[in-house]
Chains A and B, each alone.
Chain A
Amino acid sequence: MNEIKVGVFLSDCGKQLSKILNFEALTDYVKSVPGVTLIGRSNEFRRGKGLQTIVDAIKNGKVNRIVVAENLPKLSEVEIAQAVEDAGLNPYLVEVVDLKDHCAWPHRDTPSEATEKAKAMLLAAIERAKLLEPIEKLEFPALKSALVIGGGIAGIQAAIDLADLQFEVHVIEKEPFLGGLAARAGRFFPTDDCAICIQSPASDVKTITHTSRKCVYRSGFSKLPKLDVHTNSKVVEVEGVPGNYKAKIEKKPRYVDETKCVGCDLCTPVCPVEVPDHFNVGLKTRKAIYMNIPSVYPPVYVIDGEVCKFHDCAKCVEVCPTNAIDLNQKSEQKTLNVGAIIVATGFQEFDSNAIKEYHYEDPNVITNLEIARMIDGFGPTRGKIVRPSDLKPAKKIVFVQCVGSRDKRWNEYCSGICCMISLKHAALIKSVNPDADVTICYIDIRTTGREHEDYYEKAREMGIKFVKGRPTEISRDGETGRLIVDVEDALLKRILELEADLVVLAPAMVPAEGTKELAEILSIDLDKDGFFKEYNAKLRPTETKLRGVYLCGGATFPKDAPTVSLHAHSAAMKTAKFLSNGKVVKDQRTAVVNEEYCGDCEFCPVTCPYGAISLEETTDGHFVATVSDLLCEGCGICVGTCPLGAIELRHFKPDQMKAQMKGLMSINGTLKPLILALCCSECGGTTVDSSGMAMMKYPANVRAMKVPCTGILQVHHFFYAFKLGAQGIMVVGCKSDGCHYETGVQKAEKKVELAKILLKEYGIEPERLEMFNMVYIDGDKFAEAAQKMTDKLQRLGQLQLMGGR
C-alpha cells in the first residue's frame, strides 16, 4: 500500500482570517501531525494560483490526500474536486474544512479560543483524510424508451413531447379510447375550447405553424414513428431498475381488429344489446359494440365483452364489410422494455352516494360530469338541459359545491377546480337558456387562476344567483315532485328552501381508480389524500423518490387543463434528461454490506427509503442484504438502523467518522464544556454554515461535524463522543417532515429519545443530548441554541462517566 501523504492547504480568505486566527500557530501545529507532508498557504485555494498549487503537489507526487481549509465549502468542494480529478487523483480523497464560517467568524471575539478550535478542526480533517478511500464512477445502461401510464391529456402531452425528442414511447390506457376524464368534460376553462383539442406534434409534417392544435383523432400524434398506443390495457407488473424496466402489460380483447375497422357504423344498428353508457354517466344507453363519440382515438369500434352475446348473436360479424370483427380475440400479455415510467393516471369524481342526505340516487340529482355530458352537443341530450326523470326541460337548477371535499368525513382538501367547473357549467347553461334560474350554493368561491375571476363576474352579469351556504339536505316535495334544497344563506342569516328541477353536485376530485394498486406495483408513495406523492412539491414536482419514475397531471392532485399541460411538459423534460445519454452515471457513494456480520434480519431493506436493499439467500440458507449501487442515494439511514454494524457507507466509514470525532474533541482551548454538534449535510449543516456566514456569535467549545444525514447516527455514536470528552451533544437535522432523505431525521429523533433513556439509566443527565430541527434561515437559532447548551452544561458541571472518568 502506498504511503499516505497529506497535503494541508490553508486559505486565509484574502488575509481576513489571519486577523482572527493565529496562522503561524496553526501551521506549526499542522506540521507536528504525523502524515502531513506539505503545508500550503494562500489567499484562496478554490481557484487560480492557489488551486494550481494543489494540482502541482499532486502531479509531483508530494501528496495523495488533500485537506483544504477554504470558505464556501460546498462550492469549493466542487471546484477543488474537479481540479484534483483532472490532476489524476480520486476526487473523494479531498476533505474541505470551513475555518471561516465554522470558526473564525462566529468566534471572532475570542481569537485564541478560535485558533485552538481551528487546530482541532484541522486535526479532525487530517485524520479523516488519512482514512479516505477512492470512490469510483459507475455507469448503468438506460434504454431510450418510456412508458406513459394513462392516456388522458397529461399522458398524451408527455408522450408527444418524448416522441418528438426521438424517444420510443408506449402509452397505456385502461379504457378502449384515449382522452380520459377530459374527453368527457366537454369544454375547458379558461379557453372555453374543446377537451379533445391537443397540441400537434412538432414532427407532424402537416403542421403549418408551431401554434397548431388539433382534435385528438386528427392530430396525427398516433402516427409518430416512435409512439405506440395500447388501449384497453393496464400495467400488471413492473420489474427492473431505473433505466431498465420490464413492464408487463395486459391488453383486454377489443374483438375488433384496429387495422381493419373503418368506422362505418353498420355494426351498431344490428346489435341487440343495450346497456347504460358509462361514458355518458348512464344518461343514455349504448350497444355492446360502440364508439364513445365520433371524434375519439382510436377511431375504431370496441365490443364490451361483459355484455356481448358473442357467437349466440354475431350479427355484427355478418354486416361488417371489412371483416374487422373477431369474436375469438383473447386478452394478451406483453412485456415492454423501457428506461423510464411516467404515471399520468389522473383523478375522478368522488362517489356522491356517500353523502346520504344529498340523495344522489334520485335521477334529478346529478354531478358536474353528468351536466358536462348534457351540455356537450355530442352528449346524450344533444346539448339540452333536462330532468333525467322525465326528460322535460330543467328550468330551475341548483349547484351544490364542496360535495365530499373540504369535508373531514371524506376528503379534507379543497379540490381546487370545482368552483370553476360549476361557474363554467352555470354560464354555459345560461348562454343556451337565458330563462333558466341557476343558483350556486357555495362555502367559498375559489377562482384563483388567471382569467378565472372573469368567470365569476360573468356569472353575476348573467343573473346566476349565489347563496353562501352549504345545503344540509336535498329532498323531493311529495306534492310537486320537485327537489327541495335546504340551505342557509349565511349572509342573510335566512334558512332557504330552494326549489329545483335539477340539482348539480360538485363532487370532490379523488385519485383515479387503481391508484393504490399502481403505487404498489411501482413501489412509490401516496400522500395522505391518496394521490401520488412527488419527491418535493417545490423543487421536484414531477419526480418521485425513485429515479426513472415520474408523475404528471391529476395523478398528484386535481388540476385544471393548463396546469396539467405544464406538468406533463415538465415530466417529459425530466424523463428526457434522465434517458438522454443512454446511461445513468453516478459515483459509488453507496452503502456496502459486510456479509460476515449480516444475517437474517429485515431492518435495512424495510428502512431504506429508496428500496435499494434486497435480501439474497446464501448457499447455506441464510439471508444477507445486498445494496443496489444504482438505487442507493448514500444517506446512511441503513447504517443507522443495522443492529450488527454490518453495513457502512463507502464515503463515510465508521473509522473515518470516529477519527473525525476524536480530532474535534482532542483540543478544547476554552474553559467551557466541549459540545459536539452532529449535523446532516443538508438543512442541518447549512444552518451552522449560515450562522457563521451571517456572523452570529456562539462559543468556540461548540464543534460541528457533518454526516450525510442524521439518520446514519446510532446510539453508540453519542456514547463514543461522551467518552472522547464531549460534555454535550447537539444533533442538528432537517425539519421533521423535510428530511432530504425522507425519513432520516425522524429516525435520528427516535434515537436521541432512546439514548436519553439510556443516559438516564447510566446516571448521566439526559439533557446533555438534544435534537434540533433547523433549516438554512435558522442560523440565528443555531447560535442561540449553542449558547444555551453551553450555559446549561456549565450549570450541570463536569460529566461523570461510569468508571469514574
Chain B
Amino acid sequence: MSGPALVRGALVLAVVLTIAGAAAGHAFLDRAEPRVGGRVRTPPAQVTLWFTERLEPAYSRVQVVSQAGQRVDKDDGAVGGDGRQLRASLTPLSPGTYRVVWRVLSVDTHVTEGDFTFQVAP
C-alpha cells in the first residue's frame, strides 16, 4: 500500500469512526455560571455547569464550599436542560471565594471530576 493510499484510508477511517453509532465521549466541563475563576458582584442564587456530554443524573454530583470548608449549596444538585447541565441552588453568599466541586458520569459510563473557584466581591 502506498503512502497516499494509507493517508486516504486513515481519513476514511476517521469519518467512519467519528460517526460510529454508540459513540459518546468523556464529559468535560465546557463552561459554568458563575464563570470558572470569575468574580461576581451580586451573590448568585445557583451555580450551573455545562458539560460536553449528557450525564447520568443518578451518578452526577456538584457541591459548593466556602473557604472555611462549609457547604453553601442546598444539596439539590440536579441534571437539567438537555442532559448536559448540572445545577445547584445556593444559600445567600457573603463576599469571599467559593469552590465548586463536581464529579459526573457521562452516559457512556466514563467518570470525570474537577473543581474551580469563583469570587463574590461586591
The answer to whether A and B interact is: no
Residue numbers of B with Cβ under 8 A of A are none
